Chains A and B, each alone.
Chain A
């Protein structure tokens, strides 16, 4: 039997037993959907978090206002705070031994315009140290100037995409941008960087932290990045920073210090749980689908007893009879897998539209794996029915007089 004829023959049989085929299709689709969706979400979350921290070296600490770290879980990235982190705190930290640099951070969104063109841009108030710490490279010009942190200067560095959108092919360096009531002169343009980071610098404008304070009318810092001279005394340095802040904040321990390690290990726990959940859901749904496949195929075999007898009378060898039932189950599984895959990708696409900064995407191993598992499930659970069909004695099968 030719392969194309086999598929066509099976397809007609699948269409004929529509209700059961659809049931089976859904069972497989749910399994594949679950695997692809969950791994897609997990991978997106992972990339989101790693994106923010992987470009920081191991020797960079992140200070976040608010205290919740004792449990060892994910620290409050957006948590409410009792006391602001101030520029003075940042300056004090910089004076500690073993601290080589600090970069304050005040983020915001504001309308940026040049001439008739305007655009809402991600705005970062920071200082010169921020650039080497986040490994930002320039395509043109220079980074923010070396000035005291509390000094506002009307200059900015912009991302490559923002430059394109505001200036097109015209030169941007030295031009003035308007942001709210302030004006900033472009002194540097960042190199184009790939996507996948939560803070998309291609779209951003960086201004001195003091300028951001007045622009957004805020005093408190959102983050302080602290770069240590070396890793040897990480715990000790961290303790010293904690003590310093406690001292400065009237004896209250109201900041959280995140290290890359603590964050990654906390996240690894979540990922492990997630992976287990995915595996569990996959196993259960595939088991259910497998049992369904077995029953559907067994019913099909007994309903088609007379047909099997006929096929054998017409000269079809046992192995081809078996192949018919195996490929039929695999075709249904493939259909279900495809449906599950498409739905999961549509849902992830919608998630990306809703949360553009999180790169939700199913890793390719999960895509391939889910399809492979679905096909194997079909193969394994249809083996018994297929063998039953193949072993039928033609004359007995023909005695079944149900055929038209």
Chain B
């Protein structure tokens, strides 16, 4: 699904070039669950931005479902972001004047989905995220965990194939952090490809595949014993139908 070939991203800081990503190779299959760890400044966020088509490589190629993304127009990149990629940020990035419902609904609004079709989808998510009685609250009136759940709702409302979370629990206490991670894992169990950047070893250890980054390169890439690391998840399997099941069967990168 994802293939990075000798990917580089350089930043010019003053008269110095910072190699945020340094000839990085990476393959990710559909449905995988990866955690990315590494020291601050090692390029984790840059990698996520690259995968999310928010940033362009300085060199190398990013293939998404076999399509070279370097040849895409900005418009096509935007439409791929909107339809196939979901983002969860450490600082939530909710729009402060919109309430929880409206924040979750936003991608549907931007995509021009009719209000009649938006409503049931958002209601379903609010229920799924345990936010029904917080639906009319604006972000300022919500706790960190609730805000991040709203952000996750917004990230998956378009039913993306790829969910990119950059330190999603960084601002949360351990209890809300665990709730959020569990939620993300349930989504992954429903079929979505999940990449989580984290500083928390316990969180990182939960993924089936782990990446360790240093200086813009992947220093370690290994599979964990899934039975052991996913004990919590298997003990408490997700209920109801998977949230991210695509109804149109469209694969990411098809445009």
Contacts and interface: CB of A to CB of B under 8 A. Distances in A.
A394 B209 CA distance: 28
B110 A1 contact: yes
Nearest to B147: A404
B78 interface: yes
A404 B75 contact: no
B54 A398 contact: yes
Nearest to A15: B97
B106 interface: yes
A346 interface: no
A55 to B, nearest CB: 60
A223 interface: no
Contacts, number: 81
A32 B74 CA distance: 40
A404 B74 contact: no
A398 B93 CA distance: 8
A314 B107 contact: yes
Nearest to B78: A317
Contacts of B147: 404
Contacts of B74: 317-318
Contact of B91 (A1, A311, A401): A401
Contacts of A12: 97-98
A127 B114 CA distance: 75
A77 interface: no
Interface residues of A, number: 28
Interface stretch (B23-31, B60-68, B82-90, B217-225): B82-90
B92 A403 contact: yes
Nearest to A304: B95
A43 to B, nearest CB: 44
Contact of B97 (A1, A16, A315, A320): A16
A313 interface: yes
A12 B114 CA distance: 19
Given A320-B110, A398-B54, A404-B140, A314 B82 contact: yes
Given A315-B80, A318-B78, 6 more contacts: A1-B110, A313-B81, A314-B81, A315-B110, A398-B93, A404-B92
Interface of B: 49, 52, 54-55, 74-75, 78-83, 87, 89, 91-98, 106-107, 109-112, 114-115, 139-140, 147, 154, 158
